[in-house]
Structure 1
Amino acid sequence: MQLVDQKKRSSQEELEPVLYAALIDSMCQNFWPMMIGTLSTAVAAVLTAMKTGNVLLWPIAMAIVGIGTLRAFQMRRYERRTQVLTFDQARHLEPRYAVGAIVYAGVLGAWCFLTIIGSDDAVAHMLCVAVTVGYTGGAAARNYGRPKLLQLHILFACGPMSVALALHGGFYYVGLAVLLALFFFGLKGINLSLHAIFVKALTSSFREAALAGQFDTALNNMPHGLCMFRADGRLAVMNHCFSEMMNLSDDLVQRGASASDIIDACIVAGSISAASGKMILAEIENTRARDMITTDPDPQRGRFLSWTFQPMADGGAVVLLEDITERRNAEARISHLARYDELTTLPNRVNFRDEIDRLLETQKGSDHLSALLFVDLDQFKQVNDTLGHPCGDQLLCAVAGRLREMLRPEDFVARFGGDEFVVFQQNIRSTEEAAGLARRIVDRLSERYKIDNHLVEIGASVGIAVTAPGISADTLLKNADMALYRAKADGRGTYCFFRDEMAQIVEARRILELDLRKALANEEFELYYQPLVNLKSGRISTCEALLRWNHPVRGTISPIDIIPIAEDMGLIVDLGRWILRKACMECMKWPVGVSVAVNFSPQQFHQRDILGEVRYALEVSGLPAERLEIEITESSLLRNTQLTHDVLAQLHALGVRISLDDFGTGYSSLSYLHNFPLQKVKIDRSFLEGIDSDRPLTLLRGVARLSADLGMSVVVEGIETNEQLERISADGTVTEAQGYLFSRPVPSVRIRQLLNASHGRRPAEGTLHIVSSTA
């Protein structure tokens, strides 16, 4: 039973489900043919029973009427269904239909067999044969969808009839049996051909319907509206998007409207203006491809529509419609953002630059002066760091508002970037007017701001450049920038006019920057070393590496001049990497107990892979980690406190010693000594000023004692006299000292000589003895 079900299931699945359901549907919609055939066959059966007098034929006639009527009304019931036949429903319907057909065919076969075998009445024989053959022909036409069903019908209905004719005997009866067998064989072939033809037709029909459905889905899901007009100007296709965008009714498509009808309907709907409609209609009738944009007649909607016209090869045209309102608005916004600052709504650098060019061009030949004021905010970064960037943004907007209030209508202000603003003051009689405006800007911007319940105070510095005949906008901006740089160097909170010598200073700095970049590439630097002396042993315990640059023209340049420029140029990381590796390699040539100290700038310390750089320098040089000491300043601890703590902890775990340099300057806080993993504190030389009095000495000893109690070594920098040395070492809390009293910074060859003398080796000729605390 399972094998039969599997065969039946596989035969059903040979066809696509939709085709199989359609073929079953075609067999089950024959109520009137089935009813008429049943009545005709029943009458014929009754006639043969009456003609032959065979009482067995009466039950057969009744069976034909009952089975045929039942099948006919089953078809009637099926025809009244409203749902489309599904594959699963067809699978359940086919067996019921097949059983009824086979039983009916068996009854016909029994009728023919009994009539032919049970009598010699030729009329009765002719009647049953003719009706059965005719019914079989009808079954062949009706059951083309399932050829096997016809084959079973021939077997059960016509098989007994042919056998009865052959058994009856006689030349004509046997000949008729043979002819019927050939007829049934041909009928089977015709049925198979019909099946193939109808399956092919149904397949094509379904494929065309699927393609049509896909085309309709794609057409109506396009983001663009589409209209297609035939060569006669009549509408062929319109998708939903076009009708919705133009607010058109569906009956336009159904009645085959012309292009002019469509355009008129668009005008009536208020989607386009009459003038636009004329242009669109002209383009549809034209044979060239073209684009055009129309604006909405309703200004409140402010809609922009893009029309694309494409002629077709056989005449007619395709019209594509796109709503580009958002795109045009975005383009307008982008254009605005390209020329205006989004935060303050002031003109930006590009806009200001173009406007200055225009204003300078209009002022050619005029006796009036103009001034460009470059404004930079002081302490703005501190506001961002402490209150956050949102507060900083509000502060910039407040500054922009105050600048607008101070300016005349003919003056022009822009945000140049960051916390920089630029003002162009037109038509002034003298430079005093520019100075007056600069003073007002400094005073007004220095007044308190209330930002999110915070009182904020900042300052402003202003650089001023006055126009001169033939001066360009670029030169004017550069001059104002140089004047601003000088104003900030003079102490901020002031203004400064550009002078010619400023350009010379800037040019000298530019040349120095070029030389510095070249020197780094060629390794033209040299490291000097200044010893730190242990006050208990009198020996050198550490040497601090200090950078020197022997410039071919300027001579020896101090780190004080090199480091700030390198930081501004972004070269400090590369320069610091070179110093670290060079110092580690030099330290390997010293006695085992001596360490090297390397200064790290804040920018270098907060680079992405500082730990990797330190590890690499130690690996390349072979220097043990405990012989490397990294000196950082308090400003390094101010930036990203948690990250700084993590990096210091990792360096400490590696074995590297951390020293806090220049303690007592900047934002000194005793909390650094507690919160960060430090091993050494270097007290700045400024503590030695006035050390002869009790107050400075008490302060120095207090800091030293606190550091010592926290388990840290204490170093005092800038020792120049024996008196200073005696005072700082009196109570024993200071462990090391550094200064000219012991040695100035010396080259690597000289430091080796000093180390040999300090650690008891035979000193080289000309070696200076180190002055110790016990001397």
Structure 2
Amino acid sequence: MLRVLLRTNALDDRVRKTLVDTLYTQPTNLAIGAITGVLCSLVAASYAPDRIFLELALLLTAIAAARIVMAVMLPRLRNRDARRMELLYEFGAFTYSAVLGVFAAMTVWYQLPATAQLLMVAYAIGYGTGIAARNAGRPSISIGQMILIFTPINVALWNGEDLAHRALAVAIVLLWIGMISITMTVFHTLRDSVAAAETSARLAEKMQHLARTDVVTGLHNRAGLNHYLVEYMSRRRAMPNLALFWLDLDKFKDINDALGHQVGDRVLSEVAQRLRAQAKQEAVIGRFGGDEFILACDVRDRREAETIALAVLADVTRPIRIDDDRLEIACSMGIALQPDDGEDLETLFQGADLALYHAKVNGRNQISFYDPSMSRNLVRRREIEAELRLALQRDELSIFFQPIVDLSTGRIRAFEALVRWFHPVKGELRPDEFIPVAEETGAIITLGNWITAQAARAAAQWPDDVTVAVNLSPLQIKAPGAAMGILNALREARLPAHRLELEITETVLLDHSKQTEDFMAELSAAGVRFALDDFGTGYSSLGYLNKYPFGKIKVDRSFVSGVNAGKKSDAIIRAVSGMASTLDMQIVAEGLETIEQVQAVQAAGCTLGQGYYFSRAVPDYLAGMLLARERERLDGPKRAIA
């Protein structure tokens, strides 16, 4: 038993507190038992001629009253110490049990009337039996009380003259042994239940922690972010603003595709460590999903938020060394502030998300603060997205063709296919309104395929020496079966492949994708021609001309009619023209509006021209009329001479 009691004392403090709390549960029961003992002792004392019985009855009454007060008041204390509460309970329980045991034994020892002896001994046995179960949470108390109650009574009964007293003493000892067994059984059951509850609570807490933690980075996951951000926003904060930073690693998918997901996970883990290093101590940091991270912290104002954002961006975008690979990481960031950009968490997330989108659209690897105009633009984009998908079904879209003219002869050598949208309610929508939306939503793939098919059908009606040019989006090129789709469109329109020219901007070539190389190689082998569009607008590289099968260069209109047009731009055009002549490539000058511009680019070496000077973009039937008039004008004199 001593080993059990020592093991009991070694229990966890919280388990001990729970077991001690069981001693103070249901103070009404304790009060009923104490009051019953007081009444029994006072009645028994009335049969005794000696004053000591009355004094013991009054002492028992005082102890009972004190225990009732402690049972009611102590559990209400805020800073309860389990050990102190246990000692106070022990003192009251042992004192009461000792006085009760002595009182009952004295009724037998002094041979009070049989009714008085029966009253006190029966109450003492009942009380000792009852506490065996009630105080089983602390078996040392329960067993100690039974010792204090039953020992004096058994001594008195054993010293009695008749056999019945001694038989009762033996019966009490047997009862005592049985109640000790019951006490220990109840104690073990209670202790195991409490320990199991504690273990379950710890496991539940651990599982909750795991459910809110990202495995790869150790940061909060999306569920953890929501939980801790709600808690964070509900606390009283010293600074007036909460800044929410939403980060997205640019082109992270390329790392996963090229080096594998294990390397990608190590990159994410490194980014997480850098965020921890740069963030404030009380900041909430989490991985929202994929390659996106959230950081939230208090700031004094917008300027402090910008300072934090720039420091985070500079640290996150430092090159990362993974084994033998040196990886360059770019990052876009959107920022929203509470309360300026939203009072609740959902609105704040929406603002940061829109700001992040704005940062990516504007060129990536930069920060952007939320502005209300972004919400208005989002509504506009969503309207266009929904209506664009229906526009193809309702024949609201049309293909217009702008001629590309030979500057030396004036003949139309090609037409560039340009899409136009005539909305039944909103009127004509500019391409720069809906093309970016189509690219963002992926609708550009369907739209681009439709443009190619329509342009091929129209070009099949033109003379054999006239080609059609179609602009391609990066998403079209990367779509599965892109090359096959274009070849099918040519086959259905019965247009020879060499009469289709695909215009590709330099941005498509920046990622040096093998998918792009294979796409161009397959179509070039089939006879399709390629033109490098908008040459000279930021990413120009002569390496593209050597690596890819381009037969034409289109000089951007900014060199011809933009604010920078002049001697420097003429010199650039001359240099490009000279190079193109050596490589047997044609040069197209875009944006020609005046005869002076036509003469300038022709003198600089351009072979083809395109712009309002020659013609605006026109429907297919007008394109056919332009060709017919041109043939009549230029070929008519030849036929007359013949």
| Class of the TM-score when normalised by the shorter of the 2 chains | 0.5 to 0.7
Equivalent-residue separation in structure 2 for 1:655 and 1:380 (angstroms): 33
* Number of the residue aligned with 2:520: 648
TM-score by length of 2: 0.60
Structure 2 residue identity aligned to 1:463: I
Equivalent-residue separation in structure 1 for 2:332 and 2:518 (angstroms): 36
Which aligned pairs between 1:84-483 and structure 2 lie closer than 5 A?
338-360=211-233, 371-377=242-248, 381=252, 384=255, 393-425=265-297, 432-433=300-301, 435-447=303-315, 449-452=318-321, 454=326, 456=328, 458=330, 461-467=333-339, 471-483=343-355
What's the offset of the Cα at 1:679? 2.0
* Number of the residue aligned with 2:629: 757
Among all aligned residue pairs of Structure 1 and Structure 2, give the percentage whose two residues are the same amino acid: 36
* Number of the residue aligned with 2:67: none
What is the SS of the residue equivalent to 1:730? helix
Q: 1:471 to 1:540 in 2, by over 3 A?
A: same
| Alignment counterpart, residue 726 of structure 1, candidates 599, 603, 607 | 599
What's the offset of the Cα at 1:742? 0.7
Q: Does 2:579 align with 1:711?
A: no
Equivalent-residue separation in structure 1 for 2:571 and 2:328 (angstroms): 37
What's the offset of the Cα at 1:580? 0.8
Equivalent-residue separation in structure 2 for 1:425 and 1:369 (angstroms): 11
What is the SS of the residue equivalent to 1:513? helix
What is the SS of the residue equivalent to 1:341? coil
Q: 1:572 to 1:532 in 2, by over 3 A?
A: same
CA displacement 1:338-357 (0-9 Å, x = unmatched): 53223321112222123334
| Alignment counterpart, residue 637 of structure 1, candidates 472, 497, 509 | 509
Q: 1:336 to 1:707 in 2, by over 3 A?
A: farther
What is the SS of the residue equivalent to 1:630? strand
Structure 1 residue identity aligned to 2:245: F
What is the SS of the residue equivalent to 1:744? coil
What is the SS of the residue equivalent to 2:219? coil
What's the offset of the Cα at 1:714? 2.1
Equivalent-residue separation in structure 2 for 1:593 and 1:379 (angstroms): 44
CA contact (8 A) 1:380 1:392 kept: no
Q: 1:534 to 1:335 in 2, by over 3 A?
A: farther
| Alignment counterpart, residue 619 of structure 1, candidates 472, 478, 491 | 491
What's the offset of the Cα at 1:362? 6.1
CA contact (8 A) 2:580 2:586 kept: yes
Q: 1:334 to 1:539 in 2, by over 3 A?
A: farther
CA contact (8 A) 1:374 1:481 kept: no
Q: State the structure with more CA Rg.
A: 1
What is the SS of the residue equivalent to 1:449? coil
CA contact (8 A) 1:528 1:748 kept: yes
CA contact (8 A) 1:684 1:717 kept: yes
Structure 2 residue identity aligned to 1:669: S
Equivalent-residue separation in structure 1 for 2:341 and 2:595 (angstroms): 64
Structure 2 residue identity aligned to 1:708: S
Q: Does 2:440 align with 1:571?
A: no
Higher relative CO (Cα under 8 Å, sequence separation at least 6) belongs to: 2
CA displacement 1:63-103 (0-9 Å, x = unmatched): xxxxxxxxxxxxxxxxxxxxxxxxxxxxxxxxxxxxxxxxx
For the aligned residue pairs, the C-alpha RMSD in angstroms reads 4.1
Equivalent-residue separation in structure 2 for 1:661 and 1:468 (angstroms): 43
Q: 1:449 to 1:542 in 2, by over 3 A?
A: same
Between 1:376-385 and 1:573-582, the stretch displaced more is 376-385
CA displacement 1:432-479 (0-9 Å, x = unmatched): 346414422322431463522848575653411314899543222112
What is the SS of the residue equivalent to 1:760? helix
Equivalent-residue separation in structure 2 for 1:635 and 1:492 (angstroms): 13
Structure 2 residue identity aligned to 1:730: A
What's the offset of the Cα at 1:578? 0.7
What's the offset of the Cα at 1:519? 1.6
Q: 1:382 to 1:700 in 2, by over 3 A?
A: farther
Q: 1:492 to 1:625 in 2, by over 3 A?
A: closer
CA contact (8 A) 1:372 1:480 kept: no
CA contact (8 A) 1:339 1:348 kept: yes
Q: 1:691 to 1:723 in 2, by over 3 A?
A: farther
CA displacement 1:581-623 (0-9 Å, x = unmatched): 1111111222332111111111101211122211211122122
Equivalent-residue separation in structure 2 for 1:612 and 1:646 (angstroms): 12
CA displacement 1:722-754 (0-9 Å, x = unmatched): 2222222236x5321111111111222322221
CA contact (8 A) 1:657 1:679 kept: yes
Equivalent-residue separation in structure 1 for 2:514 and 2:360 (angstroms): 32
CA displacement 1:353-375 (0-9 Å, x = unmatched): 23334445667xx9975524133
Equivalent-residue separation in structure 2 for 1:558 and 1:707 (angstroms): 33
| Alignment counterpart, residue 598 of structure 1, candidates 462, 470, 481 | 470
What's the offset of the Cα at 1:333? 9.8
Q: Does 2:454 align with 1:582?
A: yes
Structure 2 residue identity aligned to 1:580: T
TM-score by length of 1: 0.50
Structure 1 residue identity aligned to 2:318: Y
What's the offset of the Cα at 1:518? 2.1
Q: Does 2:479 align with 1:610?
A: no
Q: 1:492 to 1:645 in 2, by over 3 A?
A: closer
What's the offset of the Cα at 1:668? 1.5
Q: 1:695 to 1:641 in 2, by over 3 A?
A: same
What's the offset of the Cα at 1:385? 9.2
Equivalent-residue separation in structure 1 for 2:437 and 2:625 (angstroms): 33
Equivalent-residue separation in structure 1 for 2:359 and 2:450 (angstroms): 35
Structure 1 residue identity aligned to 2:283: D
CA contact (8 A) 1:442 1:459 kept: no
What's the offset of the Cα at 1:674? 1.4
Structure 1 residue identity aligned to 2:395: E
Q: 1:742 to 1:345 in 2, by over 3 A?
A: same
Q: 1:618 to 1:512 in 2, by over 3 A?
A: same
Structure 2 residue runs of 5 or longer lacking an equivalent are 1-183, 636-642
Q: 1:501 to 1:728 in 2, by over 3 A?
A: closer
Equivalent-residue separation in structure 1 for 2:514 and 2:361 (angstroms): 32
Equivalent-residue separation in structure 1 for 2:413 and 2:341 (angstroms): 65
| Alignment counterpart, residue 611 of structure 2, candidates 739, 747, 760 | 739
CA contact (8 A) 1:714 1:736 kept: yes
What is the SS of the residue equivalent to 2:632? coil
CA displacement 1:123-175 (0-9 Å, x = unmatched): xxxxxxxxxxxxxxxxxxxxxxxxxxxxxxxxxxxxxxxxxxxxxxxxxxxxx
What's the offset of the Cα at 1:530? 0.6
Q: 1:460 to 1:609 in 2, by over 3 A?
A: closer
CA displacement 1:482-517 (0-9 Å, x = unmatched): 244455667777765545444333222222222222
CA contact (8 A) 2:250 2:364 kept: no
Structure 2 residue identity aligned to 1:371: L
CA displacement 1:397-438 (0-9 Å, x = unmatched): 343223323444443111223443222335x6xxx3464144
CA displacement 1:508-548 (0-9 Å, x = unmatched): 22222222222234332111111001223321111000111
